[in-house]
Amino acid sequence: MTWYNELKFTKNPLDIRPNPNLIGLKEQEKEIVNHILKEDICFVNGLTGSGKSSMLLRIQRILKNHEFIFLDAHDLPTKFSLEKELKKKRNFFDKITFREFPKEKPVLIIDEFQATDPRLILNARSKWENPDKRFIKSIIIAQISKHLDNCSKSFKERVGSKVVAIRPLRHDELKEMLKRRLFNRKIKTNFVDKFNEGALDLIVKSAGKNPRKVLEYAEMIFDYHHKRFDDINPIKGKNYEISHHVVRQILEENNVYVEAAKKSKVAKAAKEKVEEAVSKTKKALPDGVENEVLEFVNAEPRTIKDVAKYFKISNGKAKKIIDHLKKVNHLVPKGKKGRMRLWEVGAETKRLMVES
């Protein structure tokens, strides 16, 4: 028996997989739907765990009168054929009238777009853009990075300003997410009420306001009680409260770093320091070269040599830029590539980049 079966849930309410029951992203939802109805290309951008895949799933639930082809670029087989996928969408009347492709054009969604084969991008674009062979209604692409590195300049121009940024959820919205997930209609009990406010606040802060981690850390608490107490699990009792101290103990036992969440003033001061550093960096570089480097490294960890090659500058100049970004806490080390140090964008800076 699992912890959620013990609490009379039929399935895991804290499952981290995409879930269309989103919180606080109504404006982004409207934007994407509008782009689809206008038969546009649209780029959905957001950090890992921010809800991109859940949003794409929700859009498919909302537009029930549309056909969708959903592709996860990471999982596509080598011999994937867009033509075959399109033909699968033909209805009975399409087949008896010998239509090669469906009359009702489907919407193409490509998640993890950075891993997409450029040839597939060209093929999809031609089937959306060509007036004589227009078999796709709209193209929605999604990825973490703001930079579209694997497609042509003309494709980027087609995307233009049609970008929907999945914003980070606020503290109260993340708590509301747990409240919705942990309500058991069968027994009319909301297990979020087992936590005191301090305990919920610690989960959200320790997760860095990442929705996926909030769910993961909340599940740690329930799973811990289930495995430790078995049939006498106190969560099933009426008067048991999960305190701030209990949450900290369980998270630390699971190697979750909670030190930064102990004092909200310290965490706030650290964020303000990063924001100030970002502001100073932008003012000191009117040509935006450091911001461009941050965007490039944000796509995936890079070495000084990678930066020099991409921006066509010397290794020495690339090193100066990396050293400065490191100094103001924008970049942090991330292992090595051969003998060279890899750098990635720090968590706070990533958040600020999405919010800006």
The sheet with strand 107-111 has its strands ordered as: 68-72, 107-111, 138-143, 41-45, 163-165
Please tell me the predicted confidence (pLDDT) of residue 27.
95
Report the range of poorest mean pLDDT among 51-55, 67-71, 314-318, 351-355.
351-355
pLDDT tens per residue across span 257-272? 885 544 444 445 545 5
Please tell me the predicted confidence (pLDDT) of residue 251.
95
pLDDT tens per residue across span 106-125? 999 999 999 999 999 999 99
Would you call 23 helix, strand, or coil by DSSP? coil
Please tell me the predicted confidence (pLDDT) of residue 259.
57
Please tell me the predicted confidence (pLDDT) of residue 291.
83
164: left (phi over 0), alpha (psi -120 to 50) or beta: beta
Please tell me the predicted confidence (pLDDT) of residue 279.
53
Percentage of the chain modeled with pLDDT above 70: 90
DSSP strands (E only) in 30-175? 41-45, 68-72, 107-111, 138-143, 163-165
pLDDT tens per residue across span 138-182? 999 999 999 999 999 999 999 999 999 999 999 999 999 999 999
pLDDT reading at 327 higher than 70: yes
**pTM for this predicted structure:** 0.70
pLDDT reading at 273 higher than 70: no
